[in-house]
Amino acid sequence: QVQLVESGGGSVQVGGSLRLSCTASGYTYGPNYMAWFRQAPGKEREGVALIYRDGDIVYIDSVKGRFTISQDNTKNTVYLQMSRLKPEDTAMYFCAAASMLGSWYRVGPTTARFGYWGQGTQVTVSS
């Protein structure tokens, strides 16, 4: 059974930084890709960044130059380094991992199937 465990959320002031981590367990060979999504109150879930196992990366425009997604394939762990945070980055952040049986979600210009989700970690940016 695949499980995703996130950590690293919290509260910061505008311009601050946070790093989120997500470790996937239960895969035989590891997920082909993983991603970070976020959902603010009253808004739809939004794909923020996606990283493929071979290292290709996709970002949405609003986080380019501020967020960096990375991975450690030996640990099935994905990270999201968030810098220059803005109040509009405030949301619950979810880690997601690939599944051929999952639903399609958009991350920027690409779509991919995700079937496994973490429990979410809150990020709050205050001015």
Bigger pLDDT: 100 vs 62? 62
What local confidence, expressed as pLDDT, does residue 80 receive?
A: 98
Q: What is the pLDDT of residues 8-59, one digit of tens each?
A: 999 999 999 999 999 999 988 888 999 999 999 999 999 999 999 999 999 9
CA 73 – CA 99 distance, rounded (Å): 17
Of 76, 68, 75, 1, whose CA–CA distance to 32 is shortest? 76
Burial of 36 (0-12, 13-18, 19+ CB in 10 A): buried
Q: Given this model, what pLDDT does residue 29 score?
A: 82
Q: Is the pLDDT of residue 96 over 90?
A: yes
pLDDT for residue 100: 85
Give the pairing of strands 91-107 and 33-39.
Answer: antiparallel
Lowest mean pLDDT among 25-29, 88-92, 116-120: 25-29
- Specify the pLDDT at position 27: 84
| CA geometry: angle 70, 72, 75, nearest 5 deg | 145
Q: Which two tokens stand for residue 66?
A: 């501020």
Helix (H, G, I), strand (E, B) or coil at 28: coil
Average pLDDT score over residue span 80-86: 98
Average pLDDT over residues 74-88: 96
φ, ψ of residue 87 to 5 degrees: the values are: -55, -35
pLDDT of residue 41: 92
Query: What is the reported pLDDT for 104?
Result: 93
